[in-house]
Amino acid sequence: MSSAAAQAKFEYPIETPETVETQKKALHNIGRLLLDSHADVNDSVLTASDSWRSDTAYTALGDTQKLSTAMKGDSDAVEAAIGPMTTYVGRIEHARDRIDVLRDRYDQAGEDRTTELQHPPDWADNTYLRGEFRDGVQAAYQATIDQLEAEYEDVKADLRSDAAPAVTALREAIEVLAPDAPTSMSLDQVAYQAAAANLSLTGDTPYEYALREAGLLTGPTPTGYYADWLENAEANGVSVQTILEIAQTHGITPEDFSILDGMEEVTDADGKTFFILPDGTSGDDAELAVLMTYILNAGTGYGDGTEHDFDPEPYDSYEVQRIIDRQHANDWSYDDDVAFVQDNGGRLATTPNGMLMGLGGNWLQDLYSQNGGTTYGDIFMLNVDDVDDEGAVLADAIRSGQATYQDDDGNVYQGNLDLDRLLHHEERHSQQWAREGYVGFLSSYVWEQVFGDDETEKDAGLSDGGY
């Protein structure tokens, strides 16, 4: 068994699609056309237990053979690809054998170098000669490595050449299966289009297809909020690659969205989804629900058709991580303040921009919300209190899509400021809390109030905050 270092340096091409992308696409394309894992298809030959996903050429070949007997009217075109694919499978095994030899030679070269350096010859009896000896050993070792790397490139070049007949056969099959596909479409895109058309796949969106291909989604076609996430991504023009990166980097699965089940879902005027937390929700559950609400919406809506102080942040994996990091920095607002708000009669809701918004409560709660509202850590409290039904008023505030206020007579009304702008402003305050820390933020804010400076509000966006 070769060392991990040798395996990392001389990888099997079929296991590294970045190295031999064309071969990888060729081997798996017919499988993609054939079997969508756990999808309902209109042919008893293709069952839910079959799967087209694989990291080996063998399963791709097996799927091709199944396709040749199962496809309706297209079996001849697919069957023609079996021969070149079978040949190519053999070529891959040959390439792996050659790479195994390179790995062994790499390990042996390292061992030989170590042995030589540990046992210098008698003539290397002073510092200068020992240095000359070590340089010679290293040069010989490097020459061996250079030779191995050159041979490795030859293996990959041979494999690319060996793949040509299989690639040609698969392209010809695609021409039959999807003759009207634009020439600008990649094999992967053509495969998806043909699979959706020929096999009547369920949940056959490009997102689900790509997630399954990457091994990030298994089981039946997802429903519920995971399916809503993919629909929101498509509606907001989020790229397939972005969804793949979010799912892979943060381990997002359909089960992660279950935290939102049973919560009251409220939609604002722009179609963004909020969730009102049930009384007694723990800080940990609130934190997870906030994150999943941000992911679900696939965009905050900030800047869409309205004036705004800042360029909208892109919806991507980095922004998800930023939200997570900010939540961790402001964890005290989940650990302590979620319970404080609820225990004093207030209600909280998750928001599309990844923080909590709330209102209501008793006189004690009211002390902590001033002017148009106040943010503590990850919680923004509207300055609305002493209402009959906090949950209903909070839902109305969300549906309006506008900032909500309360006059001196206790009447609740909506202003002209877009809610997504206000939440963007308050989320920037959350970033300030996270950046400066609890004591640091309070100190700087009090200092500004005493000396008439408003850098904190300027940094959050004065117009966005209604100033």
Where is the domain boundary, 176, 199, 222?
199
Taking a C-beta distance cutoff of 8 angstroms, is the pair 302, 348 a contact?
no
Paired residues of 276 in beta bridges: 264, 349
What per-residue confidence (pLDDT) applies to 315? Answer: 95
Higher pLDDT, 290 or 41: 290
Q: Which of 462, 365, 466 is nearest to 419 (CA)?
A: 466
Place of tokens 């409290």: 381
If asked whether residues 183 and 84 sit together in one domain, one would say yes
Q: Which of 388, 286, 294 is nearest to 340 (CA)?
A: 286
In a domain, 404, yes or no: yes
Place of tokens 């969804």: 243
- pLDDT of residue 82 exceeding 90, the answer is no
- pLDDT of residue 166 exceeding 70, the answer is no
Q: How many domains does the chain have?
A: 2
pLDDT tens digit sequence for 341-362: 999 999 999 999 999 999 988 8
Cβ contacts of 383 within 8 Å, gap of 6 or more: 359, 369, 370, 371, 372, 373, 374, 405, 406
Model confidence at 400, in pLDDT bands (50, 70, 90)?
very high
If asked whether residues 185 and 37 sit together in one domain, one would say yes
Q: Which of 91, 111, 118 is nearest to 5 (CA)?
A: 111
Paired residues of 358 in beta bridges: 348, 381
Q: Which of 154, 136, 317 is nearest to 242 (CA)?
A: 317
Portion of the chain with pLDDT greater than 90, in percent: 37
Paired residues of 349 in beta bridges: 276, 357
pLDDT tens digit sequence for 64-81: 444 444 444 455 555 566
What per-residue confidence (pLDDT) applies to 57? Answer: 43
If asked whether residues 320 and 444 sit together in one domain, one would say yes
pLDDT tens digit sequence for 410-440: 898 988 999 999 999 999 999 998 998 888 8
If asked whether residues 52 and 155 sit together in one domain, one would say yes
Model confidence at 50, in pLDDT bands (50, 70, 90)?
very low
Roughly how many angstroms between the first and final C-alpha of the chain, as a whole number?
68
The winner for highest mean pLDDT among 14-18, 21-25, 254-258 is 254-258
Q: For residues 143 and 147, give the distance between their C-alpha atoms in angstroms, rounded to a whole number.
A: 6
Where is the domain boundary, 199, 218, 253?
199
Higher pLDDT, 166 or 459: 459
Q: Which amino acid is present at 53?
A: R
Higher pLDDT, 15 or 425: 425
pLDDT tens digit sequence for 307-337: 888 998 999 999 999 999 999 999 999 999 9
If asked whether residues 288 and 163 sit together in one domain, one would say no
Portion of the chain with pLDDT greater than 70, in percent: 74
If asked whether residues 296 and 413 sit together in one domain, one would say yes
In a domain, 34, yes or no: yes
pLDDT (mean) for 84-100 = 76
In a domain, 233, yes or no: no
What per-residue confidence (pLDDT) applies to 30? Answer: 45
Lowest mean pLDDT among 154-163, 233-242, 249-258: 154-163
If asked whether residues 297 and 195 sit together in one domain, one would say no
If asked whether residues 51 and 164 sit together in one domain, one would say yes
Place of tokens 């702008």: 421
pLDDT (mean) for 357-369 = 83
Angle at 411 between CA 279 and CA 370, to 5 degrees: 65
Q: Which of 79, 92, 57, 64 is nearest to 191 (CA)?
A: 64
In a domain, 213, yes or no: no
Lowest mean pLDDT among 77-81, 235-239, 399-403: 77-81
Place of tokens 């070149």: 84
Model confidence at 207, in pLDDT bands (50, 70, 90)?
confident
Tell if the pTM clears 0.75, that is, is over it.
no
What per-residue confidence (pLDDT) applies to 355? Answer: 97
Model confidence at 250, in pLDDT bands (50, 70, 90)?
very high
If asked whether residues 188 and 269 sit together in one domain, one would say no
pLDDT tens digit sequence for 266-294: 999 889 999 999 999 999 999 999 999 99
If asked whether residues 419 and 298 sit together in one domain, one would say yes
Q: For residues 171 and 179, give the distance between their C-alpha atoms in angstroms, rounded to a whole number.
A: 11
What does the block give as tokens for 41?
A: 């298809």
DSSP-derived secondary structure letter, 414: E
Place of tokens 């000396």: 451
In a domain, 229, yes or no: no
Helix, strand or coil, per DSSP, at residue 389:
coil
In a domain, 154, yes or no: yes
What does the block give as tokens for 373?
A: 């509202």
- pLDDT of residue 37 exceeding 60, the answer is no
pLDDT (mean) for 162-180 = 61
The winner for highest mean pLDDT among 53-62, 174-183, 371-380 is 371-380
Higher pLDDT, 71 or 259: 259
Lowest mean pLDDT among 168-177, 354-363, 400-409: 168-177
Angle at 48 between CA 43 and CA 54, to 5 degrees: 110
What average pLDDT does the chain have?
77
Where is the domain boundary, 199, 218, 242?
199
CA distances from 463 to 162, 178, 308, 351 (A): 63, 52, 7, 20
What per-residue confidence (pLDDT) applies to 85? Answer: 64
- pLDDT of residue 190 exceeding 80, the answer is no
What per-residue confidence (pLDDT) applies to 378? Answer: 97
If asked whether residues 190 and 270 sit together in one domain, one would say no
If asked whether residues 270 and 171 sit together in one domain, one would say no
Higher pLDDT, 124 or 254: 254
Q: Which of 268, 261, 273, 217 is nearest to 243 (CA)?
A: 217
> According to the 3-state scheme, what is the secondary structure of 322-379?
HHHHHHHHCHHHHHHHHHHHHHCCEEEEECCCCCEEEEECCHHHHHCCCCCCEEECCE
Q: For residues 341 and 380, give the distance between their C-alpha atoms in angstroms, rounded to a whole number.
A: 11
Lowest mean pLDDT among 30-39, 238-247, 259-268: 30-39
Paired residues of 413 in beta bridges: 405
Do the bridges between strand 356-360 and strand 379-381 make them parallel or antiparallel, or are there none, so unpaired?
parallel
Q: Which amino acid is present at 37?
A: S
CA distances from 93 to 61, 81, 203 (A): 14, 19, 36
Q: For residues 43 and 387, give the distance between their C-alpha atoms in angstroms, rounded to a whole number.
A: 59
Lowest mean pLDDT among 195-204, 324-333, 365-374: 195-204
In a domain, 281, yes or no: yes
The Cβ of residue 239 has, within 10 Å, a number of other Cβ atoms equal to 13
**For residue 72, what are the domain limits?**
4-199
What per-residue confidence (pLDDT) applies to 374? Answer: 87
In a domain, 255, yes or no: no
pLDDT (mean) for 98-127 = 87
Taking a C-beta distance cutoff of 8 angstroms, is the pair 270, 400 a contact?
no
